[in-house]
Amino acid sequence: MPNAYERAEKTHDRNNEGIRLQKLLAQAGFGSRRKCEEIIQEGRVEVDGELTTELGTRVDPGQQQIRVDGSRIRLDTRHITLALNKPKRVLSTMDDPKGRFTLRDIVGDRYERIFHMGRLDYDSEGLILMTNDGELSQHVMHPRYEVEKTYIATLEGRIGGNVCRRLVSQGVRLDDGLIKLDHCAIIDGNRDTTIVKVVLHSGKNRIVRRIFGAIGFPVKRLVRTQIGPIKLGDLKPGSYRVLSVTEVRSLSKEVGL
């Protein structure tokens, strides 16, 4: 049951327009009410571009722009963002006229107007983000914000560390231009196969497969494990989860929202 302070605050909220700033921050995942009060008093919060340190400040999140440490607070209960683990032989789309498995077969019709942010090719696996937040989707997919993507690739053949270093320092020229990896590390391997972890910003179609194919090491298996701050973790193939408020906030900050 709510204590006397909470009951009094709820009554006060009903009798005044807007919501207390510290309450809004708590709902947005910044911690306890007391912690959010400290954030305000430390001068880390802006309302419509103005620094705000008053604990009694009331705001309308639907009409005003609130930022913490420069990052905009996004608190719209109508928006939902999912992390999904796409298995092989599933299309990164919601419908297919040929009747092949799609993302809709995994998420169903539970979420209205939800769509994927980026794609994985038919034979690749791993993390796909989905949302019904159009602004977030545009920022995540826009090349301007260069969201890092991490993959585990199983290659045909054995490569050495010098190959990884060259892909980072010099890159490889493809039909659509020069591309470099941000990071490349060998995880495991034998005479016939090498497993590497690669990180890059590019979202071009089949880019990891094209990079290693161009230097003579075709990709046998490809799994995307991370997009920006969002990790695949132990999410099972063919399943999904709803991102927490904290995760959505970190993703939004990553893409300048």
Active site residues: 121
Count CB neighbours of 89 within 10 A.
10
10 Å CB burial of residue 18 (0-12, 13-18, 19+) is middle
Give the span between the Cα atoms of 12 and 23, in whole angstroms: 12
User: What three-state secondary structure class fits 180?
Assistant: coil
Torsion of CA 72, 76, 79, 84, to 10 degrees: 60
User: What is the rounded distance in angstroms from the CA atom of residue 251 to the CA atom of residue 140?
Assistant: 8
- Furthest C-alpha separation in the chain: 73
Its sign, for the CA torsion 133, 244, 101, 152, is positive
CA distance to 115, 128, 175, 225, 232, per residue, from 82 (Å): 10, 8, 34, 14, 11
One DSSP character per residue, 223-249 reads: EEEEETTEE-TTPPTT-EEEPPHHHHH
